[in-house]
Amino acid sequence: MRGRGAVVLVLALAACDGRCGELPAPRGADLPTDATVEGPPALPASRHDAHLHALAERARLGARVPSIAYGRHTAEGTSTSAVGLADVAAARPSTDETRYQVASIAKIVVALAVMQLVDAGRVSLDGDVSPIVGFAVGAGRRVTLRALLSHTAGLADRTAELERATRDTALDAFSRAYWADARATRGGPDAGTYAYSNAGVALAALAVERIVGESYADHVHTHVFLPAGMTSCSFAPAPSDAVPHAARDGGTQERLGHASHAVYPVVDLWCTVGDVLRLGRVLLGRGAVDGRRVVSSVRVADMVTPVVGTADDGQGLGVQLRTIGGRRVVGHEGEDRGATSALYVDLERGVVIAAIANGDAFGSGERARVRAFGDLVDGLATRP
């Protein structure tokens, strides 16, 4: 961790080495912000902490995002709420039942799916991934699932290609062509160099497909989402979901299309804030939530152990390790055009926090906007 409290710099994506993955969605027409649209009254504060509600509203305005859904889970229970508009043009309010694109938080799901297969003895974290996926990866270099999940395979994202390739291109076909290009490799075979790679984690998702013999989306629905009680989550957007927006000059919001990427497992996940918290609760429960086991505690320990860096500022397997308000946490932040997200778990204190927005605070590159969203994450994490 560098700088104050966790999130101002971390959520500015310094730790993500190039935009936490998340890829531009199609452009749409400019629309007024909710500040200039006749919108609904503020949601009642009955289900949430009034202080956090006020903090979320300030974050929404400061980050220039149409809406934010946020929540906390503690030993006393789970609380969720939302502020702002899920769809600016329709003046449709966000609620805690509105689904958002959660972007790189989806990488935790990839790690859980891999870990389940490790538990079952169907794959090793340290075996070569090339025989699993059926084509050479890394220009002859041995690339492992452990390295892919920790971004230490020395593999570089070619952002323009990731942005162009929509879900009309199958994950298999895209990955095969992508890794055939020698530009996908950087560093030495044993360098262990940290280089944030969306395409690398997507390759781990493809390995899951190969091993189980069904699509990644279908597999994690059955084996991760349902056992974890994440009943809202899917990789297919719906009309009722929060619409991605990008803030523009003059106080306007550009309405964007829903995300569609060939590397969908690492970015195109849609969930309610309550189900994002449930994902964090899998880590908090050392692999179990509400008495249902999703993965073994040994595998969760693997995930949250630093591969690079430290527990204060490092990378585990599918999770980032941070410090927020002096507390060590594990989780992930994410961004895409029209999406900003954060999920963190304080394993020692037993607290899970989440904040998801349908706006581009992180990707804006504007420190004030990043700081506004980061202040909400800080407040969620440090609230008694």
The DSSP annotation for 323-335 comes to EETTEEEEEEEEE
Q: What is the amino acid identity at position 190?
A: D
> Rounded mean pLDDT of 235-241?
96
pLDDT over 50 at 43, yes or no: no
- 104 neighbors 334 (Cβ within 8 angstroms): yes
The residue that leads in pLDDT, 142 or 377, is: 377
Beta bridge partners of 71: 80, 354
- Interval 283-315: pLDDT, tens: 999 999 999 999 999 999 999 999 999 999 999
Look at residue 154 in the predicted model and tell me its pLDDT. 82
Residue 227 CB: number of other CB atoms within 10 A? Answer: 18
3 state SS of 70: strand
Look at residue 202 in the predicted model and tell me its pLDDT. 98
pTM (two decimals): 0.88
Tokens for 171, please give them. Answer: 């994950």
- 211 neighbors 122 (Cβ within 8 angstroms): yes
pLDDT over 60 at 351, yes or no: yes
Distance CA 247, CA 360 (A): 7
- 245 neighbors 256 (Cβ within 8 angstroms): yes
Distance CA 226, CA 215 (A): 16
Q: How many residues does the chain have?
A: 384
For CA atoms 349, 225, 210, 106, the dihedral sign is: negative
Distance CA 296, CA 119 (A): 7
Q: Which among 177, 133, 139 is positioned nearest to 155, based on CA atoms?
A: 139
- 307 neighbors 315 (Cβ within 8 angstroms): yes
Q: In which band, very low, low, confident or very high, does the pLDDT at 251 lie, cut at 50, 70 and 90?
A: confident
- 340 neighbors 356 (Cβ within 8 angstroms): yes
The residue that leads in pLDDT, 48 or 317, is: 317
> What are the structural domains, with CATH classification, of the chain?
7-106+217-382 (3.40.710.10), 109-115+123-214 (no CATH)
pLDDT over 60 at 363, yes or no: yes
Q: Read off φ and ψ for residue 168, nearest 5 degrees.
A: -65, -25
- Across 128-132, 151-155, 184-188, 333-337, least confident range: 184-188
pLDDT over 60 at 9, yes or no: no
Average pLDDT, the chain: 86
Residues 6+ apart with CB under 8 A from 366: none
Distance CA 246, CA 92 (A): 17
Look at residue 122 in the predicted model and tell me its pLDDT. 98
> Which of 11-25, 57-71, 183-197 has the highest average model confidence (pLDDT)?
57-71
- 151 neighbors 315 (Cβ within 8 angstroms): yes
Residue 250 CB: number of other CB atoms within 10 A? Answer: 9
- Across 36-40, 199-203, 326-330, least confident range: 36-40
> Rounded mean pLDDT of 126-147?
90
Which strands, in side-by-side order, build the sheet including 252-255?
30-32, 252-255, 245-248
Look at residue 141 in the predicted model and tell me its pLDDT. 77
* Angle between helix 297-304 and helix 106-119 axes, rounded to 10 deg: 130
Which strands, in side-by-side order, build the sheet including 77-87?
92-93, 77-87, 67-74, 351-357, 339-346, 327-336, 320-324, 313-315, 308-310
- 55 neighbors 376 (Cβ within 8 angstroms): yes
In the chain, where does DSSP find H-type helix? Answer: 7-10, 50-63, 106-119, 130-133, 145-149, 159-164, 171-179, 198-212, 216-220, 226-228, 273-284, 297-304, 367-382
Look at residue 193 in the predicted model and tell me its pLDDT. 78
Beta bridge partners of 320: 315, 331
Q: Which among 313, 287, 317, 321 is positioned nearest to 302, based on CA atoms?
A: 317
3 state SS of 105: helix
Residues 6+ apart with CB under 8 A from 342: 7, 11, 105, 331, 332, 333, 334, 353, 354, 355, 356, 373, 377
